[in-house]
Amino acid sequence: MIPWPIALLCVFYAVIATVSAASLWQGLARPSTLLAWPVAWLVLTTVVTVGLGLMKPWARRVAVWTSLALMVAALCAAWMAAILTPPSARASLLGTGLASIQFVVIRYLTRPHVKAWFACQTQPG
């Protein structure tokens, strides 16, 4: 049985994968759009969603790296919003908030009891 915090993480990553798929679909409609970012996020978050749902040990490591990449992207977006639109702090706060959520996800996935959940899934029987 999958623990409920891991299930919530699966839902979180599935939402990001859905948004990435929508961005990819919209980018395919306009040929001049750069498709590398939506494809990268779609692949990463889909792999993490499926792997975490199956409690695979490699999925926890990929989830940590994906969360780290999402945290860096959110902080870069917050920095760009702060520089480009100084009077409006909403976008910067949103980006910083998303980065802090990613930090909490990384801290959670690196806790010893979470590692133990994934370690006991590799043993037969």
Q: pLDDT tens for residues 50-100?
A: 999 999 999 999 999 999 999 998 898 888 888 887 666 777 788 888 889
Domain-located, residue 16: yes
Total count of residues recorded for the chain: 125
Domain that holds residue 107: 4-120
- Report the domain count for the chain: 1
Domain-located, residue 125: no
Domain-located, residue 19: yes
Domain-located, residue 55: yes
**Calpha distance 59→53 (Å, rounded):** 9
Q: Residue 112 — very low, low, confident or very high, per pLDDT cuts 50/70/90?
A: very high
| Claim: this prediction has a pTM higher than 0.85 | no
